[in-house]
Amino acid sequence: MTLLELPVRPLAPLLEMHLGAGIRAAQRLHGGDISDTFRLDTTRGPFVLKTSRQNADCRLPDGFYAAEAHGLSLLRSAPLVTPEIIAHGSGPAGQPYLLLSWLPPGDDTPATQDALGRGLAALHARPVPGFGGLPDNYFASLPQRNPPAASAAGFFWAARLEPLLTRERRHLTPRDRAGFDTLRGRLPALIPPGPPALVHGDLWHGNVRYTPRGPALIDPAVRYSHREVDVAALRLFGGVPRRVFQAYHEAFPLADGWEARAALWNLYPLLAHLLMFGEGYLGRTREALHAALDLR
């Protein structure tokens, strides 16, 4: 076995048992703030390893990769590509790991952008039991509760905004909190009616891949929620062509005002980023709050 980077080395015998193959090399992949992610080149071809050394500076919560694997398994019902789950668990000294199939890169073309929009619409059109009700999981490293709720507005406040507002004690002012209190009372009137949907839950452009088999989704934070959650997330950090939204809207039309409501839904990921990364996200959080309060 080739000498491997420290995060991979203790896991190598266990990974080789799962794969039935020898590991020739491990190449660190860019992206992500939570895991150490590697492409493993093996005698059976490439695979992906996500792990964490579990030291004082980087400790994943219990069940983190099990929750990600569950989310990926739910998304496999969509007409979109997801990585195959090979194995997940704990190695020596409790080091967690998630072993996935490798998604080879493909072309980002108008056709694949259309396929992303249509595939996401098809995912959202599939019936689910109700709002909330899935096992609890994570948004990045933050716990994400998924209790059953009677409505999209009730779930969004009680399971998404309120827990983060309770935890955030460093940056939000009394004026900011008063704005959220006002928003809470208006949520039922602002969110358009619609059935619950399985949503990816963290669908910024970095969690979309284009492969030879079509568009792929990675790193989910799944929930049963309003479908505009995913549509809004695709707009949060840019990088998603307009035709993706056009293809989605043609396949499963969105209610009027969906573009303006993106600010409302994106309050959740922005508050999460404020908690995880600090003051740099305060301005965008306030902008989204003001835009949400201006909705009619």
**Residues in the chain, how many?**
296
- What is the greatest pairwise CA distance in the chain? 62
Query: What one-character-per-residue DSSP string does 132-146 give?
Result: S-SPPEEETTEEE--
pLDDT band at 1 (very low <50, low <70, confident <90, very high): very low
Residue 2 has pLDDT above 60, yes or no: no
Q: What is the mean pLDDT of residues 53-66?
A: 76
Q: Are 32 and 17 in contact (CB under 8 A)?
A: no
Average pLDDT of the residues in 127-154: 96
pLDDT of residue 118: 97
Kindly indicate the confidence band of residue 181, based on its pLDDT and cuts at 50, 70 and 90: very high
Cα→Cα distances 160→2, 41, 190, Å:
45, 39, 16
Token pair recorded at residue 267: 């309050």
Question: What one-letter code names the amino acid at 177?
Answer: R
Instruction: Give dist(CA 255, CA 209) in Å, integer.
Output: 27
What pLDDT does residue 192 have?
A: 96
Predicted confidence at residue 60, as pLDDT, reads 83
pLDDT digits (tens, 9 = 90+) for 74-107: 998 778 999 999 999 999 888 999 999 999 999 9
Complete domains list, the chain, with CATH: 9-101 (3.30.200.20), 110-293 (3.90.1200.10)
149: CB partners within 8 A, 6+ apart:
130, 131, 132, 155, 158, 159
φ, ψ (nearest 5 deg) of residue 39: -90, 125
Q: What is the pLDDT of residue 77?
A: 75
Active site residue 114: no
pLDDT reading at 195 higher than 50: yes
Amino acid at 236: L
pLDDT band at 279 (very low <50, low <70, confident <90, very high): very high
Q: Report the pLDDT averaged over residues 143-169.
A: 97
Contacts of 168 (CB under 8 A, 6+ apart): 271, 274, 275
Geometric angle at alpha carbon 121, from 115 and 126, rounded to 5°: 130
Model pLDDT, residue 177:
98
Question: Residue 55 — pLDDT band, cuts 50, 70, 90?
Answer: low
Q: Which of 41, 202, 219, 230 is catalytic?
A: 202
